[in-house]
Structure 1
């Protein structure tokens, strides 16, 4: 029964301050957000319910930050008030430990951690989606139309209006000047001047109408064409003229929400993980693309045929076809180049034309000699139970080497081959047109490879940064949930150590730790985006730093000790002071003698 009463007492004592501090934290964080979006909201003529809707969406997004702060402040207040009124000392004297007193608070922290994660993973993505869509509509909306006398109004995209006077009823106007720029692209400039008029809205505010009386309309055309002939300056007088303006651009529209679904703040953890996997595939595809682009200019190299997505899958023929033909289609230029070399080698080397081609053929053959010459070595099989002496084995190896050398020397490529003359000599042997064509193709290939590599080099850092941000945001959802429990083990022991209730000391102590947590969060985000640390480690680093701090503070509170003990420093000063006195005593005794 005593245990149940203690739990009820702690729950009642904690619930009130928690609700109040949570509301205060939401309000303070909301004011910070409103200052950011104040320029976008002010002067747009938004209704009360529209602003209230935006605030409601944003309040949901602030819950994971407000919960840890509320838990920290309320735990310091409750335990500090109990310690100040010696209630905590009474519990300890009755044999109840501090951890037993904190048990209802720890349960509150665990429940808050679950609520924080559920809100961050399910509710906040939908709320951020609605907030982002509505805020985009507000940013695109023009400010409320305002017609002040003596001031040019440029709210309309292609007109500038100035009113000389405006009556109290807001309808009658006088001394009107309108600059019309609807035909400015063709060089036509228009101007309307009227002595009196009236303005009003039509069709439920869809159109703004200005009915002008007793005025002139001027039109000046720009000289165009080859002759630059002058065009007449046109002046038209009117008794009544009506000009209609469309007010659709001043109304708040509604954008399709699906356009914002790919933003990181609007994704759940499983969607963020899918985004990371998709980004990894994008990086691999980009690397494969640049690799295969280089292979296009190297016929003997093989392309990377790894399939990452269906749309990148290469089309292969059925395996029932002839293997040689299928291999030819897959390998492409490399197989074609090899077969052409083999055809040249098989021809009799009798003509002078073949002898002129031999240096080029020999150069290619050195890369793939197994496709051109097959040296028939001695049979590798030997009868069973056959034994040979060392001399016989040595003689056999020598015979094989000699036979291989002889057959190699008899090959036409070796008999008619010459030393490699170099690329410059081959280029010099070409005609001028062929030489120019080869040079241009080489430059084009080098330029294409370089531009493709530079483009990939510019894009990949941004893609990798997006991947790190996805990983960081995913792990921050878990980190913000865990910090609710950590702040219970920081706030409750700090209240027992400080022994002050109310809002003064608890808020001061709580703000210090909360600001440290926010600074660590921002610092770790920058480290992750700079590729200094891993995104997952950066998301957990604030909890990793604060967890030992919470253990230290809890251990000090369990021992009823101060947060920072100065006994060691005091003993050090006392020891130093005693040493100084001992050194001064002999000198004083000598003076006495």
Structure 2
């Protein structure tokens, strides 16, 4: 490594680490506000909160890396240009690309880290974060018994304390409403002058020991016409009520319940998800097509088999029209297909048995296709020359069919036709309602898959934006570099959100939407780099100033001519 590369590496590593930590902290605080209401008041331990923050920090790495590269590259090159070190390099014949070569290497390494993190680490971290956050959202807030406030934390119980001692144990003027038997019409109320409350040693139960109180129980009216209204009142010197605290504990659910979310899938899983969605769309269309056969048997049956037993649900396997002359329902496997058509063909030859099962099966299917097509063509030719077909007169239409049946059956035929039309229309409308949601899920899968690549490539693009911008602005520190970096980063975020909305609205494809921010920023980076290499200004205002000066001079000359003409 040469001295220039060592200098750039030492100058870049420090600001990069600092800016990466700042960017990660800012992004984490922005995300934390969304979950603050779910976390507050749940009595979570410090280590659990740190675990959640660690999972979320891993998920923010691909977003924090480009921002850190952008800010640090502007700072390093701005600092070199401000102290005229960059000018010294250029005067010695060192080009700008040679100066930032080490930064480009850092950008390429960051791109690889970003992709590996997005594809391998983030899905697992998001899975753990989603599972833990769901557990926290289902957990009840910490039990809090405040005097003068009706507490409904316990299921089917309402508790009010008149006063509470300083030790947190002694209580007075206790009122408890018990609704555990409200479904059978029994209501219970407990009052006590004083008592004490505490938890068991393991914290599994909450115990209220009451003294000098009464219990009132009112039941559903009974007897003839509901005139009898049983009512019981019981007095007690001491009464112990035990509440289960298991509902206030954090219950952990299996992470497999959340493993199908897009943010928890890697690229190959997203690709399989897209194939599965394509299969689902094809199966729904096939179901709609075959639904018409119940009313129009003359239509050909769609015999494509998309999911065969023993294969993955994402695999497309088409048997075309192999089952056209078989049973109305499609077979479930190639083995059943061979068994159905075995009488139509001789047994396999010995040399066929020596071949692989897949090759034999494929050739068997092709032979069955050719045989079926030959039989179908022969039948069509035979039917075309039938005397009934050659001597048939033009069909008079549906009215002639109705005239061939008794008139009292016309209304029944019309009603059955309307019922059939309504059934077909309802099936079609149901499919049309479901397909947009399925297609939107497909677009989101494709967009998320290509965003993993796009977020990695943008790390290199930001190097070619940040380094030339630092050479142009010629300012180091955290002032101008952060201002310039935030502008380009906000542009990238806006483009990302805008492209996502375009993809979800089916305006553009998910692939194009995922790469569009990079396609827009890449020419900008080339233009900024070219301007910095030629020591040109990013916005040349000299020409505009010259044009304004000429316009003012022309106005003055014109005014002088008018004065001379008047004189």
Q: TM-score, normalised by structure 1?
A: 0.82
Q: 2:340 aligns with which of 305, 309, 318?
A: 318
Task: Measure the CA separation in 1 of the matches of 2:195 and 2:173.
Answer: 8
1:247-306 Cα distance to aligned partner (Å, 9 max, x none): 111001111011111000000111111111110111011000011001221011111000
Q: Which has the larger radius of gyration?
A: 1
**Paired residues for 1:218-229 under 5 Å:** 218-223=216-221, 227-229=225-227
Which residue in 1 is equivalent to 2:447?
472
Residue 428 of structure 1 and its aligned partner are, at CA, apart by: 6.2
Residue aligning to 1:498: 473
**Partners in 1 of 2:423 and 2:330 — Cα distance?**
24
Does the Cα contact within 8 Å between 1:166 and 1:173 map onto a contact in 2? yes
* Distance change (3 Å), C-alpha of 1:198 and 1:87: same
| Aligned residue among 241, 244, 247 for 1:243 | 241
Measure the CA separation in 2 of the matches of 1:82 and 1:493. Answer: 12
The answer to whether the 8 A contact 1:524-1:541 is kept is yes
- Quote how far apart the aligned CAs of 1:584 are: 3.6
1:265 to 255, 263, 276: 263
Q: Secondary structure at the match of 2:226?
A: coil
Identify which of 418, 426, 437 aligns with 1:451: 426
Report the CA distance between 1:215 and its aligned residue. Answer: 1.1
Q: Find the aligned partners of 2:217 and 2:93 in 1 and give their Cα distance.
A: 97
Identify which of 509, 512, 515 aligns with 1:540.
515
User: Structure 2 vs 1, CA of residues 440 and 213 (structure 1 numbering), >3 Å: closer, same or farther?
Assistant: farther
**Structure 1, residues 23-76: CA drift from partner, whole Å, max 9, x if none?**
000100110111010000000000000000000000000000000000000011
- The 1:234/1:436 distance shift into structure 2, 3 A limit, reads farther
Q: CA RMSD in A?
A: 2.5
- Aligned match of 2:526: 551
Give the distance between the partners of 2:137 and 2:231, measured in 1 at CA. Answer: 41
Q: Separation in 2 of the partners of 1:428 and 1:243?
A: 80
**For 1:88-237, what aligned pairs fall within 5 Å after superposition?**
88-202=86-200, 204-223=202-221, 227-237=225-235
Name the SS of the counterpart of 2:272 in structure 1.
helix
| Mean CA deviation greater in 210-219 or 508-517 | 210-219
- In structure 2, the CA distance between the partners of 1:423 and 1:57, relative to structure 1 (3 Å rule), is farther
**Which residue of structure 1 aligns with residue 386 of structure 2?**
374
Cα distance change on mapping 1:296 and 1:203 into 2, 3 Å: farther
Describe the SS at the equivalent of 1:227: helix
State the match for 1:397 in structure 2. none
* Alignment check: 8 A CA contact 2:469 2:532 kept: yes
Query: Per the alignment, in what secondary structure is the counterpart of residue 303 of structure 2?
Result: coil
CA distance in 2, matches of 1:408, 1:28: 81
Instruction: Provide the C-alpha distance between the structure 2 equivalents of 1:408 and 1:169, rounded to a whole number of angstroms.
Output: 103
CA shift, 1:418, in A, is 9.5
- 1:283–1:418 CA distance, 2 compared to 1 (3 A): closer
Equivalent-residue separation in structure 2 for 1:217 and 1:511 (angstroms): 67
Q: Which blocks of at least 5 consecutive residues in structure 2 are unaligned?
A: 310-328, 346-379
Distance in 2 separating the partners of 1:423 and 1:205: 85
CA positional deviation for 1:224? 6.2
- Match of 1:20? 18
161 and 287 in structure 1: CA distance in 2 versus 1, 3 angstrom threshold: same
Change beyond 3 A, Cα 1:42–1:96: same
Q: Which residue of 1 aligns with 2:457?
A: 482
Query: Structure 1 residues 420 and 503 mapped into 2: Cα distance closer, same or farther (>3 Å)?
Result: closer
Per-residue CA deviation, residues 2-40 of structure 1 (Å, 9 max, x unaligned), is: x71111111000000000000000100110111010000
User: What is the aligned residue count?
Assistant: 511
Q: Which residue of structure 1 lines up, in the alignment, with residue 563 of structure 2? A: 588
Contact 1:305/1:314 (CA < 8 Å) preserved in 2? no
Greater shift, 122-131 or 231-240, is seen at 231-240
Conserved 8 A contact 1:206-1:248: yes
Q: Select between 273-282 and 575-584 the one with higher mean Cα deviation.
A: 575-584
Matches within 5 A, 1:514-529: 514-529=489-504
Q: Is 1:160–1:178's contact at 8 Å kept on the other side of the alignment? A: yes
CA distance in 2, matches of 1:160, 1:193: 12
Question: Quick one: distance in 2 between partners of 1:151 and 1:52?
Answer: 33
Provide the residue aligned with 2:6 in structure 1: 8
2:366 is aligned to none
Q: CA deviation at 1:580?
A: 2.9
The equivalent residue for 2:314 is none
More deviation in 40-49 or 179-188? 179-188
TM-score using structure 2 length? 0.85
**Distance verdict in 2 for CA 1:80–1:418, change over 3 Å:** closer
The offset of 1:88, in angstroms, is: 0.9
Mark the runs of 5 or more structure 1 residues left unpaired by the alignment: 324-367, 376-406
Q: Which sits farther off after the overlay, 244-253 or 215-224?
A: 215-224
Paired with 2:495 and 2:389, the residues of 1 have a C-alpha distance of 72
Matched residue SS, 1:546: helix
Deviations 1:384-435 (A, max 9, x none): xxxxxxxxxxxxxxxxxxxxxxx989x6x76xx9955706843861545xx5
Q: Secondary structure, in 3 states, of the residue corresponding to 1:422?
A: helix
